[in-house]
Amino acid sequence: MEGELVDLQKRILELKKKRNALIIAHNYQLLEIQKVADFVGDSLQLAVKSSEAKGYDLVVFCGVKFMAEMAAVLSPEIPVYIPAPEALCPLASFVTADKVQAMKQEHPGAPVVVYVNTTAETKSSCDIVCTSSTAVEIVESLGVDKVLFGPDKNLAEYVRRQTGIEIVDIEPKGHCYVHRMFDVAQIALLKEEYPDAVVLAHPECHPEVQDVADYVISTGKMAKIVEKSTSKTFIIATEVGLVEQLQDKHPDKIILPAYDGAICIQMKKNSLEKVAEVLEDLPERNLVTVPAHMVGHIRETIERMYQALGRPSIARTAN
Ligand code: SF4
């Protein structure tokens, strides 16, 4: 089995070179996929990387579909393929474009901020997008008293607490089923065993879990903290793909999942076999496209996020 995986990885690396492909993977991908990727990161890091894909002939995006759609928008001249087109994020389905329109009518004048975990159609109806690492900064940058926000109610609560701004949930039930698996009791048990452990939780976790964490942050920032910290033990409340990545990178540290069943089935629909298949055949069904009439507006909403963060314009990094 081990040998077969290694052979497949070698085959992928050969095909990657032959196709002049950029492989990017989210932190929640299987570790064996992360190891063949040119770049691994959180959704903001992957969005930035996608906008810098110039020079490659194609991008293979190992993640869920909304992420690959962002890459297709940010890298319009380079075809973007996803190994598993059926990998859809259930959180994204909580907020539709129609729901956003209805909320806009109920709250005239309030800007709509949507989390990147939304479909292209939903993004095309919002004012600005944010990621988990940028949500607080983006909402504050708007300089308003009230914001419509979705689809994740726990991230909304985190922003509400951090900013004091009125955050209206576009869908009060919106949640990620993976981050909902963590609870305070599990973390308390681990802390009994590892009292010095630093607890890192994603803002999609329940507010009570956020309350017992030392840091509430994105997966990209979790990776940085583990790398830089002098602490030796960490309890990680996010999908286990990141835990496996960090343990692999830092064998001298103890990286504990807050719950080892926290697996995103959708993220795991990608596999090495599917990555190889995409690179071999470039199947039409794996090509990610965003309807042309949505692309311009989505680019603007991402551009606004970049501007609010003081990052270079997409216009300078893409095209
Ligand atoms: S971990 Fe949650 S938010 Fe992320 S892709 Fe899976 S279901 Fe969606």
203 shares a domain with 234: yes
Domain annotation covers residue 294: no
* Distance between CA atoms of residues 116 and 125, nearest Å: 13
Domain annotation covers residue 184: yes
111 shares a domain with 125: yes
Domain annotation covers residue 128: yes
Q: Order of strands, edge to edge, in the sheet holding 146-150? A: 128-130, 112-115, 146-150, 166-169
Burial status of residue 23 (CB atoms within 10 A of its CB: 0-12, 13-18, 19 or more): buried
- Say if strands 166-169 and 146-150 run parallel, antiparallel, or are unpaired: parallel
Ligand 1 centre distance from Cα of residue 148 (Å): 21
Of 139, 169, 199, which one is at a domain's C-terminal end?
169
CATH of the domain at 132: 3.40.50.10800
Name beta bridge partners: 287: 81
Find out whether the beta carbon of 59 lies less than 6 Å from any atom of ligand 1: no
Ligand 1 centre distance from Cα of residue 105 (Å): 29
Ligand 1 centre distance from Cα of residue 125 (Å): 21
Q: Does residue 199 sit in helix, strand or coil?
A: strand
What is the tally of structural domains in the chain? 3
- Report the candidate in 312, 307, 254, 299 with the shortest Cα–Cα distance to residue 123: 299
Domain annotation covers residue 158: yes
- Quote the pTM value: 0.94
Q: Which domain holds residue 250?
A: 179-263
In the chain, what percentage of residues exceed pLDDT 70?
98
pLDDT tens per residue across span 167-221:
999 999 999 999 999 999 999 999 999 999 999 999 999 999 999 999 999 999 9
* Alpha-helix runs per DSSP H in 167-271: 184-193, 207-212, 219-228, 240-249
Find out whether the beta carbon of 118 lies less than 6 Å from any atom of ligand 1: no
Domain annotation covers residue 304: no
67 shares a domain with 9: yes
Categorize the per-residue pLDDT at 96 as very low, low, confident or very high, splitting at 50, 70 and 90: very high
Of 106, 141, 169, which one is at a domain's C-terminal end?
169
Q: Could you tell me the two tokens for 200? A: 């890192």
pLDDT tens per residue across span 58-81:
999 999 999 999 999 999 999 999
Find out whether 51 and 317 touch, Cβ atoms under 8 Å: yes
Domain annotation covers residue 255: yes
226 shares a domain with 162: no
